[in-house]
């Protein structure tokens, strides 16, 4: 006999929004931001997504009404994480089904004025610090439908604030977890480095089970004041039932340096809009991507490197391995403003196809208004070379083992750019797991 469960109505309508707002009890400025964003969201819902960004990403099967923001606090689920047990961290925080654990932070750092905790708490306790930065400069609600949706419904997430000239040597760690079937996660990562500060934040996403469906509508804002240094890593490792949409942006002031590594291993469908803005003279950004899609996964990136100031440098290297029926899309753009003379911009995407039925779309692009710049881009796409396989087999490696070695070698060039050893190891380990050899 069939049992009929009551179907949910649209989970993100006005009623739900009002209930959500009421449940949050937030300062007025936060509520105002949300209301404004919700209005924009409703407007943008009625209009088309930017075809340039979305035409290769089919989300017709996406049903927002199947997901909702969890209201009840569930007992903590066990997560098979890549990083959590790996190292001594200067700070540690988890967000499971949008519920944040109390953050741990090295006492010395707390004394120096470092803030590390959940966004939900910090808008209450340190609104003055956050207000100038939260969704004002990097990711704004009017960017697109997903940014607006996120801005209206953000559920928490990790905040790191590092005061002027404070250097944090050890990495900090943040976990975003989904446990309940149908749960929606709207976490927001906000990192603010004041002048001369430096920090490393390692963030990973994980699912408690391999079967729970989920939704992530996230945002990442990385705000680097002059001469600051940030290494930010996000490894997206959801199960393959999760829809992942994210708007992520970094703003880099004069002589500051951002190193940003994105690992994409999981999700049913992931689309990330990732931007770096080189806003001050001498700013630099290095963007690394390691993507491995298998089965029926679709992993899509829309990346922009925007040079707004002279003598700025950006260097993007994405490597994707695609297998089975999976698909990868990368649309990259370097934009150079009129005044950004002596810009050095680079973008490159290399793809390795492991099956006849997978697909990669890699489209680099340049928009340059300055006249004294050096901008280069490139994309390569190919299958594992049979002569390489033959050579390895002649040395006693079985075909699959040889294939795996070649795949790991393919990613090695990205690992070589990452100074944090634990990140190199973790990415390697994630790839090995996915290859089924560890």
Partner 1 sequence: MSSLLKITDLHVSVDEKPILKGVSLEIRQGEIHALMGPNGSGKSTLAYTLVGHPKYEVTSGTIEIDGVPLNDLDPCERARLGMFLAFQYPVTIPGVKVADFLRHAVTNIRNPARKEGESLIPMRDFRKELKDRMEELGMDVEFARRYLNEGFSGGEKKRMEILQLAMLQPKFAILDETDSGLDSDAVRVVSEGLRKLAGPQMGVLIITHHERLLEYNVPQFTHVILAGRIVETGDASLAHELHNHGYAAVRQRHPAEAAEEQEHQKVTSKAAVVAN
Is residue 388 part of the contact set for partner 1 (CB under 8 A)?
yes
Select from 178, 321, 392, 423 the one that contacts partner 1 (CB under 8 A): 392
Among 75-83, 226-234, 374-382, 411-419, which window interacts with partner 1 (CB under 8 A)? Answer: 411-419
Question: Which tokens go with 317?
Answer: 């290297």
The nearest distance, CB 404 to partner 1, in angstroms, is 7
The nearest distance, CB 238 to partner 1, in angstroms, is 25
Select from 132, 409, 419, 421 the one that contacts partner 1 (CB under 8 A): 409
Select from 14, 65, 398, 421 the one that contacts partner 1 (CB under 8 A): 398
Is residue 378 part of the contact set for partner 1 (CB under 8 A)?
no
The nearest distance, CB 378 to partner 1, in angstroms, is 15
Closer residue to partner 1 in complex, CB, 378/409? 409
Q: Which helix (H) or strand (E) holds 46?
A: helix 28-46
The contacts found for 429-433 with CB under 8 angstroms, 24 or more apart, are 429/82, 430/82, 430/235, 430/237, 430/263, 430/265, 430/292, 431/265, 431/290, 431/292, 431/321, 431/407, 432/404, 432/408
Is residue 405 part of the contact set for partner 1 (CB under 8 A)?
yes
Instruction: List Cβ neighbours of 123 (8 Å cut-off, separation of 6 or more).
Output: 26, 27, 30, 130, 134
Is residue 399 part of the contact set for partner 1 (CB under 8 A)?
yes
Is residue 397 part of the contact set for partner 1 (CB under 8 A)?
yes
Q: How far apart (Å, rounded) are the C-alpha atoms in residues 70 and 119?
A: 17
Start-to-end CA distance of the chain, whole Å, equals: 43
Burial class (CB in 10 A: 0-12, 13-18, 19+), 59: middle
State the number of binding residues for partner 1 (CB under 8 A): 28
Is residue 111 part of the contact set for partner 1 (CB under 8 A)?
no
Is residue 29 part of the contact set for partner 1 (CB under 8 A)?
no
Among 26-34, 66-74, 108-116, 403-411, which window interacts with partner 1 (CB under 8 A)? Answer: 403-411
The answer to whether 364 and 379 have CB atoms below 8 angstroms apart is yes
The answer to whether 173 and 206 have CB atoms below 8 angstroms apart is no
Is residue 45 part of the contact set for partner 1 (CB under 8 A)?
no
Among 64-72, 75-83, 169-177, 384-392, which window interacts with partner 1 (CB under 8 A)? Answer: 384-392
Among 77-85, 309-317, 355-363, 392-400, which window interacts with partner 1 (CB under 8 A)? Answer: 392-400
Instruction: List Cβ neighbours of 274 (8 Å cut-off, separation of 6 or more).
Output: 246, 248, 249, 260, 262, 287, 301, 302, 303, 304
The residue written with tokens 């590092």 in the block is 162
Can you give the binding site for partner 1, defined by CB under 8 A? Answer: 385-388, 390-402, 404-406, 408-413, 437-438
């Amino acid at each position: 006999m069939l049992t009929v469960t009551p179907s949910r109505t649209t989970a993100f309508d006005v009623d739900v929004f009002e209930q959500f707002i009421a449940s949050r009890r937030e300062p007025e400025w936060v509520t105002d931001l949300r209301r404004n964003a919700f209005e924009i969201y409703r407007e943008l819902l009625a209009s088309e997504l930017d075809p340039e960004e979305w035409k290769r990403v089919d989300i017709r099967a996406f049903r927002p009404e199947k997901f909702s923001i969890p209201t009840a606090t569930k007992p903590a689920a066990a997560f098979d994480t890549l990083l959590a047990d790996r190292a001594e961290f200067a700070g540690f925080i988890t967000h499971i089904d949008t519920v944040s654990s109390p953050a741990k932070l090295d006492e010395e750092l707390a004394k120096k004025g470092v803030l590390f905790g959940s966004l939900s708490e910090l808008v209450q306790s340190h609104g003055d610090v956050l207000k100038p930065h939260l969704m004002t400069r990097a990711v704004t609600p009017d960017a697109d439908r997903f940014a607006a949706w996120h801005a209206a419904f953000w559920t928490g997430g990790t905040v790191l604030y590092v005061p002027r000239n404070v250097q944090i040597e050890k990495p900090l760690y943040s976990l975003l977890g989904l446990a309940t079937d149908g749960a929606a996660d709207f976490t927001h990562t906000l990192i603010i480095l004041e002048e001369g500060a430096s920090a490393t934040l390692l963030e990973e996403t994980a699912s408690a089970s391999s079967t729970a469906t989920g939704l992530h509508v996230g945002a990442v804002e990385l705000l680097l004041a002059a001469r600051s240094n940030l290494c930010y890593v996000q490894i997206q490792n959801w199960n393959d039932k999760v829809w992942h949409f994210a708007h992520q942006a970094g703003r880099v002031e004069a002589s500051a340096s951002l190193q940003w590594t994105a690992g994409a291993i999981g999700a049913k469908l992931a689309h990330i809009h990732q931007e770096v803005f080189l806003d001050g003279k001498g700013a630099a950004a290095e963007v690394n991507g390691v993507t491995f899609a298998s089965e029926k996964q679709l992993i899509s990136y829309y990346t922009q490197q925007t040079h707004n100031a002279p003598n700025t440098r950006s260097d993007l290297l994405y490597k994707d391995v695609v297998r089975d029926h999976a698909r990868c899309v990368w649309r990259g753009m370097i934009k150079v403003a009129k005044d950004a003379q002596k810009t050095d911009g680079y973008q490159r995407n290399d793809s390795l196809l492991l099956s006849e039925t997978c697909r990669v779309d890699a489209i680099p692009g340049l928009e340059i208004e300055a006249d004294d710049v050096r901008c280069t881009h490139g994309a390569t796409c190919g299958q594992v070379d049979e002569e390489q396989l033959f050579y390895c087999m002649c040395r006693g490696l079985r075909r699959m083992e040889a294939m795996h070695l070649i795949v790991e070698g393919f990613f090695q060039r990205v690992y070589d750019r990452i100074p944090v050893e634990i990140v190199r190891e973790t990415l390697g380990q994630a790839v090995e797991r996915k290859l089924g050899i560890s």
